[in-house]
Structure 1
């Protein structure tokens, strides 16, 4: 698909002038239809654009994939049709691609969304951006970098986010069609200089290193790879495992790798050990978060819906084949989440694997560096250093005391973060007392001694609980104000 640069420039100008932007579409559709469209429900948006004005016509054409009378389109239809972006059907025009505005202010070009009843997906289908793309973009660190790699770029969405904070961007994909459409996305978004390369995994950048690697890879776990945008053809979750293990060879010192991944829950095995093993093998500091888990049937249904195969003659056969294969592996569930690696250059790398299924403050990338710093600090600080450390309670921490009304002592005390990752931790009276007084002024040892005196507790026993504060430091309830050896 070779589209002249001047035609793309004119198309972009028309899209912007007409208001075909994220905010413009939301305003034109109204709250109800816009919210439904975000859920992939089209009927309210179709109703809202039945009598199309110029913006409504663009929404129907590019986003909803509907036929639009040519007289309603203020576009160079003949040129766009010659370039393969539009198709004429008598007096009506249809989009040959899906063209959507994105939250960065740019545009994304992908294959049209496949709905139930449409022809089957082509094997090299290029999917548009959705929830997973937004999740990864939110996760990625906001710190500026000199070099960034988008591995498996698809329609090019992550490059739209990286372009403003990376000196140079390399993007790869195993699908030649994906790279062609991604180049259109970048051109329509005013992004130049992306080094696009064809190939699988890290092969196109075999001897190169980057400050940042991001990837929304083909993580779907299936018995065979049918669609390149979601399945690699690798056995089980080996593709994500290998991607994690290979990443450090392509990171500069201090570099980050941040990816989305699926992993198996297997009978008789803790999924944390499985994913933790992937991270431990890298030699990097690592943080993995499970955001959701589906049982095998839910998982198969999700991805058969994704390829619009519900209601087709092959649906039951493929459903049964997929479930049979997962059962043969002993799979009890499939997890979805984030993985972040940081090459800290330490001989004592730290790995944390956890589950966070409730909403978190977005974007995570705005504070992901602090999350990793806290995990590393809690692990590496010595006992003597910890006693002399000055702790500060996170400002958004609240305390919940739970027990029978009128009871003198609570049955349970919970510290809860109201921002960030919104973690919560059940604590004892000593930790709760510390949360109320840690302001960075006094060393931790002195505070523990004072708490023991006030409560009548044994000072040695109170001091012995100092190591119980490490998880609270790792999870960000407390931070260390000064270097631990500053006395």
Structure 2
């Protein structure tokens, strides 16, 4: 049985051995190569096993900790007796096998979780602790990079977000409803040299009742299902009520100016606009809010994804659980399930702004580097009066290009598109007035005279300030106010 009290000295020696051997993100990628790494992303081990068949010290660590296969004790240069004593390894004849998945992470630290579940493995235990994957990396790329005094990682799991918060937050509180998750997270932080994390067990915001933070991050158990079978992904709340409740409660735990950033699922229901559904969540908070749908799946795709996640394909229960889940969605008139980001900002305004949009395209990472510009554009477009806009010196945002589409030889294009090559990489169709404005605004001239001049030259009705608001909110233009 795994001991959660592995001494810090053992963890330091283990980390030192990883560093010496090259068991790092770059070291593993280089050793495996592109083909094996891509296969591993699909949970296929054979290419990685072939790439590590010559069991040198690095290959032994990859096989042991990442692939989870037995490795001869003669090939492993580690303090085996201690690792077995504290439950990180188990003896298998003249070999050892890891009882956990231990992976290097992009921060330079390490993460400890339960072993990956692959087809043919035993059923997942209810308190299974999942490792870091695409969702964890997604949230880490979204979170604001500004330094903060107090940060909360709600639902820390194996502790991945703390690895990203360390160095940016003076004090970090990490919570989880799963005691096993907190135990493994402590090992993650110990291996990564992170000290002083305030660890608390409990659901939702119960462990931090009455406390406030400058930053709250959460990759919560957002999966929408008819039953709460696995703690790391499901809560038992009805439909998508858990994510809604998380959003509703978060503002009471934000300091003035603080941010809450989380991942969520939401339902697409027949006869209802999903944007109205999610927008209503944000509107209840009194905070400025930005919600982004990054992907949407039909109910069958969604069920298949999460049954694969638990390695239930090909098992006797697969068909029955698939059918039960689809029937549950059908009873609620669900047509799809959205996945995305939610950001709240406790701006203190009496006129909060809510924006809900879909961004399926690739975006520049990390989003956290330019998150303040995104939120500033959204709120500026909403709050500035028409007079303020006309008095502002507009300038085109860096990286915006113009594309013209038309019949060859035609005098005028049939379509003009402004496209962002940086940031969120949006693209939008515009008229000739907006295109002309984009071509001349450089931050020196006020918007009012520019619009009037463009209208005279083109012989078209001048663009109103209101017509520019969406382009400002979407980051095509910036509006520094002149004195």
Tell me what 1:467 maps to: 466
Report deviation, 1:313: 0.4
CA distance in 2, matches of 1:344, 1:167: 22
Which one is further off, 473-482 or 165-174? 473-482
Report deviation, 1:37: 2.5
CA distance in 1, matches of 2:303, 2:106: 30
Matched, 1:134 2:137: yes
CA distance in 2, matches of 1:387, 1:36: 55
CA distance in 1, matches of 2:31, 2:227: 42
Report deviation, 1:378: 0.1
RMSD: 0.8
Matched, 1:237 2:236: no
1:133-152 correspondence runs (5 A): 133-152=136-155
Matched, 1:9 2:9: no
CA distance in 2, matches of 1:151, 1:395: 36
Tell me what 1:268 maps to: 271
Matched, 1:389 2:397: no
Report deviation, 1:410: 1.1
Q: What is the total number of aligned residue pairs between the two structures?
A: 480
CA distance in 1, matches of 2:37, 2:310: 23
Residue number among 24, 28, 37 corresponding to 2:27 in the alignment:
24
Tell me what 2:328 maps to: 325
Instruction: Give the TM-score normalised by structure 1.
Output: 0.98
Which one is further off, 390-399 or 259-268? 390-399
Instruction: Give the TM-score normalised by structure 2.
Output: 0.98
1:67-466 correspondence runs (5 A): 67-457=70-460, 461-463=461-463, 465-466=464-465
CA distance in 1, matches of 2:41, 2:228: 28
Deviations 1:276-315 (A, max 9, x none): 0000000000000000000000000000000000000000
Deviations 1:322-347 (A, max 9, x none): 00001001000000000000000000
CA distance in 2, matches of 1:11, 1:228: 29
Which one is further off, 216-225 or 465-474? 465-474
CA distance in 2, matches of 1:28, 1:404: 51
Report deviation, 1:39: 4.0
Report deviation, 1:398: 0.7
Report deviation, 1:8: 1.1
- The residue matched to 1:442 in structure 2 has which SS? strand
Report deviation, 1:38: 3.6
Task: Give unpaired runs (5+ residues) of structure 2.
Answer: none
Whether the 8 Å CA contact 2:57–2:75 is kept in 1: the answer is: yes
CA distance in 1, matches of 2:465, 2:178: 54
Tell me what 1:479 maps to: 478
CA distance in 2, matches of 1:134, 1:429: 40
CA distance in 1, matches of 2:33, 2:447: 54
Whether the 8 Å CA contact 2:212–2:253 is kept in 1: the answer is: yes
CA distance in 2, matches of 1:173, 1:441: 52
Task: Give unpaired runs (5+ residues) of structure 1.
Answer: none
- The residue matched to 1:440 in structure 2 has which SS? strand
